[in-house]
Amino acid sequence: MSESDDLAQRKMQFLFALRSKGVTDARVLAAMERIDRGAFVRGIFAERAYEDMPLPIACGQTISQPSVVGLMTQALAAGPRDTVLEIGTGSGYQAAVLSVLARRVYTVDRHRRLAREAQAVFEALDLANIVSLASDGSRGLPDQAPFDRILVTAAAEDPPGPLLSQLKIGGIMVLPVGQSDTVQSLIRVTRTETGLDYEELRPVRFVPLIEGMAGD
């Protein structure tokens, strides 16, 4: 089998694995077919990019498992007119998937190096509607608020207040909550005219949301 056949086959299995784990939204599947996860993983792990596994990235962080990216993206239900804030850029993969579905994506990370490297990948892939910033996402992004959608890809004990207040009415936030390293739950918060609705979606495991900037 040639190398390109092999890659095509691995990508097909990748999409099959997503479907079998509950990622059924056609728009989400198309976005994940279009964004090459291999562009967001470096070195020895790059060849495992199409496996449904989290993988290590720089700064001791991880790129999430693709099926979890798919399920979170599906739960967020972002549309072509939406402005999305992602907290926890990491490799930039999740932001890239969101950029196919939304009008504009702001993504922030407390590691300057991750924000910078992700920005370089976005430019190389011509994903011009993503703004990558080094900043403490536990405060949200007040200058650009409010947002139609907020996705948090690091776990907080509770939904951070600044993020809840930066959500538009009708807006949706998806985030893992719980003590780090124990069981966390993925939850969906919807801001209504009168308050906030909470829905628990599934158990997940994410690195912790840490307040303040990192040293690198």
Assess 207 for contact with ligand SAH (CB under 6 A).
Answer: yes
Assess 90 for contact with ligand SAH (CB under 6 A).
Answer: yes
Assess 189 for contact with ligand SAH (CB under 6 A).
Answer: no
Beta carbons of 209 and 156 less than 8 angstroms apart: yes
State which of residues 15, 39, 133, 210 lies at the interface with ligand SAH (CB under 6 A).
210
Cα separation of 216 and 207, whole Å? 17
State which of residues 18, 68, 85, 87 lies at the interface with ligand SAH (CB under 6 A).
87
State which of residues 98, 100, 104, 137 lies at the interface with ligand SAH (CB under 6 A).
137
Minimum CB separation of residue 24 from ligand SAH in Å reads 21
Beta carbons of 121 and 39 less than 8 angstroms apart: yes
Which CB, 154 or 172, lies closer to ligand SAH?
154
Q: CA separation (Å) from 77 to 54, 70, 82, 167?
A: 23, 11, 10, 14
Minimum CB separation of residue 23 from ligand SAH in Å reads 15
Which CB, 169 or 213, lies closer to ligand SAH?
213
Q: How many other CB atoms are found less than 10 A from the CB of residue 48? A: 13
3-state secondary structure of 54: coil
From 2, 4, 20, 64, the catalytic residue: 64
Cα separation of 176 and 171, whole Å? 17
Cα separation of 16 and 19, whole Å? 5
Q: Does 146 sit behind a cis peptide bond, omega within 30 degrees of 0 on the bond before it?
A: yes
Which CB, 109 or 148, lies closer to ligand SAH?
109
* Active site annotation includes 135: no
Find the binding residues for ligand SAH in span 91-130 (CB under 6 A).
91, 93-94, 108-111, 114
Cα separation of 98 and 132, whole Å? 13
Beta carbons of 67 and 23 less than 8 angstroms apart: yes
Q: What would the two tokens of residue 59 be?
A: 């700064």
Task: Point out which span in 44-52, 86-94, 142-150, 179-187 binds ligand SAH (CB under 6 A).
Answer: 86-94
Q: What would the two tokens of residue 27 be?
A: 């728009």
Site string for ligand SAH, 47-76 (x = CB under 6 A): --------------xxxx------------
Interface with ligand SAH by CB under 6 A: which residues? 61-64, 87-88, 90-91, 93-94, 108-111, 114, 136-138, 153-154, 207, 209-211
Catalytic residues: 64
